[in-house]
Structure 1
Amino acid sequence: MSFPYSTLMIQGTTSDAGKSTVVAALCRLLKRRGVRVVPFKPQNMALNSAVTADGGEIGRAQALQAIAAGLAPHTDMNPILLKPSSDIGAQVIIHGKVRAEMNARDYHQYKTVAMQAVLESHERLLQQYDCVMVEGAGSPAEINLRDRDIANMGFAEKVDCPVILVADIDRGGVFAHIVGTLSCLSESERRRTIGFVINRFRGDIKLLEPGLDWLEQQTGKPVLAVLPYLHGLFLDAEDAVQPVQASRGAFRVAVPSMPRMSNHTDFDALRAHPDVDLHFVREGQPIPQADLIILPGSKNTRGDLAWLRAQGWEAHIQRHLRYGGKVIGVCGGFQMLGREVTDPLGMEGKAGVSPALGLLDMATEMSPEKRLMQVQGVCAFGDTQAPVIGYEIHMGVSTGGALATPAFFIDGRPEGALSADGQILGTYLHGLFDTPQAISALLQWAGLNSDNTVDTSALREASLDRIADATQPLLDALIALK
């Protein structure tokens, strides 16, 4: 089967309207039909990222879409990645590599350079694939960002591609979202918008039909599909922490949710485990009684460490350990477990030194080089050397006596640290819970003896197939429309 669009862009009326999911679903559907399809997002702002086969870094959502298309993630799929380090600044990553740390105003001026990187990647993908399936960012109706836009209509106008507008009916006001968005676009941008998708619908479609008729009459454009609300999906979140399901397991895991928490997808396997009750602890809440506390990754380790202390959580962690609880630190959370974190060049903010939690004998110094690696190895704890597969994505080098007792062996080298009393584990590995044997070994170390396990790859594939099946009417409408 051929597909009539060489480049098709999916934009949304709001953030989290479902753009990422629709792109992933269309990628899976086209892959099933033998179309060589590739996902693409010109610019992404997210703290959840993935390491690519070519040794770079892209948004997590594009890595998921690559899996849907049957491809290895590549930096051309997301040429510009912005990782916020403060409310007004972000690390700018171009073609998978850190280019600079910029505030919002400087980056706005830099967009003309960034656009060239975007167009280079898009052209390379066009040469290799039948269809480039593009995801926009946020909303094209953000008037203040229209100048030099590279993420939405600015890109679509530059490459002259059609656009589909996705709106989330579950938020309410779906017709106002669509009509209002169109009213904010230029005439040429409205012309290239070929239709709408209403996402996350639940209820009787007959009750919606009068609104659909009105919308088509008002805009002169078709509603291409109404997609259902699908419960229980296991898909990597682009950035925001998804609501945790109702408590199921007796084994309690608490994850302090810090302002610059990164790659919280590390804990998706724990969320899915039938014996685990996972809680993200929010600002102003005490850390609840738990069997295991996990300090997550951070884009600003010293800043999040200060924030953690301001919440009073350091005392909670100390009390948790006194009562025999276990603690895991991942990446930035691992760095927090040491004696101090030094940032002499101001890589993550103001230069300086911060005393850390002092739970492991090590110190970390931030450096300009970011370590980006896909890795595999074995657990260094437990009765069996359980295999682990993950990735490293961090700035900073840790040294100290704690590293003499590693948590893992990665390609034969020691990695991470285990405390002498066996209560604390630290590692730079993201994705450490994703391997079924590794999650079982880690939970057993933490005190859970269970025959249940979680295969995140199988759950992800099943969810991709579910969203693809539900999105079939959209693909049919696109083919008929052309």
Structure 2
Amino acid sequence: MTARTLMVQGTTSDAGKSTLVTALCRWLKRQGVSVAPFKPQNMALNSAVTADGGEIGRSQAVQAQACGLAPHTDMNPVLLKPNSDTGAQVIVHGHAVGNMDAVTYHDYKQIAREASLSSHARLAASYGVVMVEGAGSPAEINLRANDIANMGFAEAVDCPVLLIADIDKGGVFAHLVGTLELLSETERARVAGFVINRFRGDIALLRPGLDWLEARTGKPVLGVLPYLTHFHLEAEDAIDRRQTAPDDAAPTVLQVVVPVLRRLSNHTDFDPLRLHPQVNVTFVAAGEAIPAADLIILPGSKSVRADLAWLRANGWQSAIERHLRYGGKVLGICGGLQMLGKRVIDASGLEGPAGESDGFGFLDLDTSLEAQKQLRNVTGRLTLGSSAVSGYEIHAGVCHGPALERPAVWLDDGRRDGACSEDGQVMGTYLHGLFETPSACEALLRWAGLSTVESFDYHALREREIERLADLVDGHLDTALLKSLCGIAAD
């Protein structure tokens, strides 16, 4: 086996694969090892822009931070961004190659496989260890043919695998043993051990089960990771609705409402707000009442016209109009900016059937979707108080109209971004991640209604949480075995 590549697979989605890979990346960095993250195939609507001008899954960007690296397209060579229940935009080496349904993509998998293997080879030639994250479960029988996400990849590069399971949801021993039973003989042989995640309680009560598991499978349990309270790491895809309780000592609390669009993208934009001590964020799904708010944020969308129709069907047009009459503020991000305009035109059918849709009409602009996606990391200044801001653009839309004469952001590359309404109540921008810059976050919260805003450094929080994960590796996993699997000399 190749000692320089180690793969983490999970018995289920959300078992903790992303978290464990992030933890191991930072732990290896602490050991002085040059390490890079890798996920051969990812399906997610949360993405990031890389240093080489491409697009990868957001989790791999966080894992790159854990390694002390800038994100690169080789870290996630195949990204699938769902735009319907049966189809997705396929992104290879950072750039879209087209929309495919499940059957078409199955036929395309050999090309995707070669892209993944070539990216892995480049990383393996440049770093001491490549930490690989699987997707879903290796026991999904219907997806085994031409697999590039789990054991198919592990077999191709001949690497050991750690299998992680979530005990908090129950059935952890069934998950682990059942997954092994559904693997082939060669696949079972490369499972080097188990990690049990999110354990609460007295480890002594779990010990008989661990002993049974090791005797039953002949494989070691590398350790049991505790359930972390008040822990934050950006979600790969599912919306994290957990809300940091607003500080009772805060002078005021800002109420923010966000609709849960069917194809909502980059909802990690709202993590700094969820975690801010003066902000309460409410995500509103289909059929739920739309509460009163100080600020309504229309998020990004992978299918803007379809999500516009969804918003209207769920009463958002009248809710936003009422909100504005009472003096509330509205912010649109990326697809949300496009929805705030007069028309969204998709002449080529890039996000669904070709055609055009009426926007909400709160900003005097039209948007045309074009095949060439805009992918940029940017810096600039908000037109609100000239506050510094940084973020990233991921969009196919190009806006035109008088509203752009009142931009939301002056970009350092000389361009203008977004628009503001004449009355100052409505603002739209293409910048994802704008709340991560403390100065921009403070300016936007003041605009939305907070008179006194506490400074909040989201980047520092994320760094503390990554360090917290690495501490768990030292405290709860068999580090000697981990070093052996990674080809690191023992102390």
Give TM-score scaled by structure 1 length: 0.97
User: What does residue 467 of structure 1 align with?
Assistant: 469
Residue in structure 2 matching 1:478, options 463, 466, 482: 482
- In the alignment, which residue of structure 2 is the partner of 1:452? 454
Mapped contact 1:251–1:275 kept (Cα < 8 A): yes
Residue 5 (structure 1) shift = 2.7
Greater Cα shift, 225-234 or 430-439 = 225-234
Return closer, same or farther for 1:14/1:439 CA change in 2, 3 Å cut-off.
Answer: same
Which of 116, 119, 138 is matched with 2:117 structurally? Answer: 119
Partner of 1:222: 220
Q: Residues 161-180 of structure 1 correspond to what in structure 2 (within 5 A)?
A: 161-180=159-178
Q: Secondary structure of the equivalent of 1:239?
A: coil
The residue number in structure 1 matching 2:402 is 401
Find the aligned partners of 1:98 and 1:34 in 2 and give their Cα distance.
36
> 1:417 and 2:387 equivalent?
no
Once the two structures are TM-superposed, the CA of residue 442 in structure 1 deviates from its matched residue by: 0.5
Residue 480 (structure 1) shift: 5.8
Identity of matched residues, %: 63
Q: Is the 8 A contact 2:445 2:453 kept in 1?
A: no
- State the 1:232 CA deviation: 1.7
Separation (CA, whole Å) in 1 of partners of 2:478 and 2:355: 53
Matches within 5 A, 1:170-319: 170-245=168-243, 247-248=245-246, 250-319=253-322
Secondary structure at the residue paired with 1:433?
helix
Matched position secondary structure for 2:51: coil
CA distance in 2, matches of 1:246, 1:320: 25
The count of aligned residue pairs is: 477
Q: Is the 8 A contact 2:241 2:283 kept in 1?
A: no
CA distance in 2 between partners of 1:5 and 1:34 (Å): 17
RMSD (Å) for aligned C-alpha atoms: 1.1
For 2:353, what is the secondary structure of its paired residue?
coil
Gap change, CA 1:326 and 1:8, over 3 Å in 2: same
Question: Which amino acid letter does the alignment assign opposite residue 256 of structure 1?
Answer: P
- The answer to whether the 8 A contact 1:44-1:59 is kept is yes
CA offsets 1:346-390 (integer angstroms, 9 cap, x no match): 0000001111101110000111010000000001123xx110000
Alignment-derived partner of residue 21 in structure 2: 23
Distance 2:422 2:316 in 1: 23
Instruction: Tell me the CA shift for residue 202 of structure 1.
Output: 1.0
- 1:26 touches 1:475 (CA, 8 Å); kept in 2? no
Question: Partners of 1:426 and 1:380 in 2: how far apart?
Answer: 12
CA contact (8 A) 1:405 1:417 kept: yes
Q: Aligned-pair distance for 1:478?
A: 1.9
Matched residues in 2 for 1:374 and 1:295: separation? 21
Code of the residue aligned with 1:215 in structure 2: it is L
Distance in 1, matches of 2:446 and 2:60, equals 33
C-alpha contact (below 8 Å) 1:286/1:313 kept by paired residues: no
Q: CA deviation at 1:457?
A: 0.8
Q: CA deviation at 1:474?
A: 4.1
Residue 369 (structure 2) aligns with = 366
Q: Report if the CA contact (8 A) 2:245-2:277 is conserved.
A: no
Alignment map for 1:20-59 (pairs within 5 Å): 20-59=18-57
- The 2-side partners of 1:451 and 1:292 are apart by 15
C-alpha distance after superposition, 1:94-142 (max 9, x if no partner): 0000011100110011101100000100000011000010000000000
Distance 1:184 1:451 in 2: 54
Give 1:247 deviation, angstroms: 4.2
Structure 1 letter corresponding to 2:405:
A
Q: Give the conservation status (yes or no) of the 8 Å contact 1:375–1:410.
A: yes
Aligned partner (choices 151, 156, 160) of residue 153 of structure 1? 151
Deviation by residue 1:385-406 (Cα, 9 ceiling, x = unmatched): 1100000000111100110001
| Contact 1:244/1:279 (<8 A) preserved | no
| 8 Å contact kept, 2:5–2:131 | yes
Matches within 5 A, 1:333-372: 333-372=336-375
Aligned-pair distance for 1:36?
0.5
User: Structure 2: how far apart are the matches of 1:471 and 1:443?
Assistant: 37
1:246 is displaced (CA, Å) by: 5.4
> In structure 2, what is the equivalent of residue 8 of structure 1?
6
Structure 1 contact 247–278 (Cα < 8 Å) conserved: no
Q: Distance in 1 between matches of 2:437 and 2:420?
A: 20
Specify the code of the residue in structure 2 equivalent to 1:406. P
Gaps in structure 2 of 5+ consecutive residues: 248-252
Q: CA deviation at 1:414?
A: 1.6
Q: Partners of 2:214 and 2:276 in 1: how far apart?
A: 44
Query: CA deviation digits over 1:223-265, x for unaligned, max 9?
Result: 1110011122232111111132254262100000111000001
What stretches of structure 1 of length at least 5 have no aligned partner?
none
Q: Contact 1:406–1:414 (CA<8 Å) still a contact in 2?
A: yes
| Structure 2 match to 1:62 | 60
Matched residue, 1:386: 387
Q: Distance in 1 between matches of 2:232 and 2:172?
A: 25
**Secondary structure, counterpart of 1:127 in structure 2:** helix
1:28 & 1:184 partners in 2: Cα distance?
32
Given that residues 275 and 450 in structure 1 are in contact (C-alpha distance below 8 angstroms), is that contact kept between their aligned partners in structure 2?
no
Q: Is the 8 A contact 2:51 2:72 kept in 1?
A: yes
CA deviation vs aligned residue, 1:256-300 (integer Å, no higher than 9, x gap): 011100000111110111010111111111211000000000000
Letter in 2 for 1:274: P
Q: Partners in 2 of 1:366 and 1:68 — Cα distance?
A: 35
Residues 238-247 or 418-427, more deviating = 238-247
- Cα separation, 1, equivalents of 2:191 and 2:272: 38
Partners of 2:452 and 2:238 in 1: CA distance: 30
How is 1:315-334 mapped onto 2 (pairs within 5 angstroms)? 315-334=318-337
In 2 relative to 1, CA 93–480 (structure 1 residues): closer, same or farther, beyond 3 Å? Answer: closer
Amino acid at match of 1:234: H
CA distance, structure 2, for counterparts of residue 197 and residue 465 of structure 1: 19
**SS at structure 2 position matched to 1:122:** helix
Moved more, 354-363 or 239-248: 239-248
Moved more, 423-432 or 469-478: 469-478
Secondary structure of the corresponding residue to residue 230 of structure 1: coil
Letter in 2 for 1:424: V
Mapped to 1, the partners of 2:176 and 2:466 lie a distance apart of 26
CA distance in 2, matches of 1:462, 1:67: 12
Q: Which amino acid aligns with 1:216?
A: E
AA matched with 1:317: I
